[in-house]
Copies of this chain bind each other. A is one copy, B any other.
Amino acid sequence: MKNSIFNYSAIVFFVAVLAGCASNRTVADLPISIKEIGSFHVGGRTAVLDGLPKKEVRFTPTQPPVILDPNGEFEVEQMYAQYTLVSDEKKRGAYPLVMIHGGGLSGVTWETKPDGKPGWQMFFLRNGYDVYVADAVERGRASWARYPEIFKSEPVFRTKKEAWELFRFGSTYTVGSAQRDAYTDTQFPVERFDQFMKQGVPRWVTNDAPTQAAYNALVEKVCPCILMPHSQGSTFAYNAALKYPNLVKAVVGIEPSGALDPNKTDLSPLKNVPMLFVWGDKIRETPRWGGIVAPLKTMISALKSQGGIADEIDLPTVGVRGNSHMIMMDRNSDEVAKLVNDWMMRKGLSKP
Which residues from chain A sit less than 8 Å from chain B, CB to CB? Answer: 28-29, 31-41, 44, 46, 48, 57-64, 68-75, 78, 80, 82, 84, 87, 89-90, 103, 106-108, 111-112, 116, 118-119, 121-122, 125, 135, 140-141, 143-146, 155-157, 159-162, 175-176, 194-195, 197-202, 205, 208, 232, 235, 257-259, 261, 291-292, 295
Top 4 A-B pairs, shortest CB-CB distance: A72-B159, A31-B87, A41-B198, A75-B197
Alpha-carbon separation in the docked complex, A69 to B143 (Å):
25
Alpha-carbon separation in the docked complex, A84 to B36 (Å):
12
Q: Which of B201, B205, B258 contacts A141 (CB 8 A)?
A: B201
Question: Can you give 21 contacting A-B residue pairs, CB < 8 Å?
Answer: A29-B35, A31-B34, A31-B87, A37-B118, A37-B121, A37-B125, A38-B111, A38-B116, A40-B112, A40-B116, A48-B175, A72-B161, A72-B175, A73-B159, A73-B160, A73-B161, A73-B176, A74-B197, A75-B198, A75-B200, A146-B157
Docked-complex contact B141 and A44, CB < 8 angstroms: no
Q: Which of B59, B75, B140 contacts A232 (CB 8 A)?
A: B59
Minimal beta-carbon separation of A180 from chain B (angstroms): 11
Binding site secondary structure of chain A: mixed
Which residues on B sit within 8 Å (CB–CB) of A80?
108
Which residues on B sit within 8 Å (CB–CB) of A156?
57, 68, 70
Docked-complex contact A60 and B143, CB < 8 angstroms: no
Q: Which of B29, B90, B116, B157 contacts A70 (CB 8 A)?
A: B157
Alpha-carbon separation in the docked complex, A246 to B199 (Å):
30
Further contacts, 15 of them, CB under 8 A, given A39-B108, A72-B160: A34-B34, A37-B37, A41-B195, A57-B205, A59-B205, A60-B235, A60-B257, A60-B292, A61-B208, A63-B258, A63-B295, A71-B159, A73-B160, A106-B143, A143-B201
Known: A31-B87, A197-B74, A205-B58. Contact between A82 and B111, CB under 8 A? yes
Which residues on B sit within 8 Å (CB–CB) of A125?
37
Which residues on B sit within 8 Å (CB–CB) of A90?
31
Alpha-carbon separation in the docked complex, A69 to B161 (Å):
10
Docked-complex contact A36 and B194, CB < 8 angstroms: no
Known: A61-B208, A156-B57. Contact between A122 and B48, CB under 8 A? no
Alpha-carbon separation in the docked complex, A99 to B291 (Å):
45
Known: A61-B235, A75-B194. Contact between A141 and B141, CB under 8 A? yes
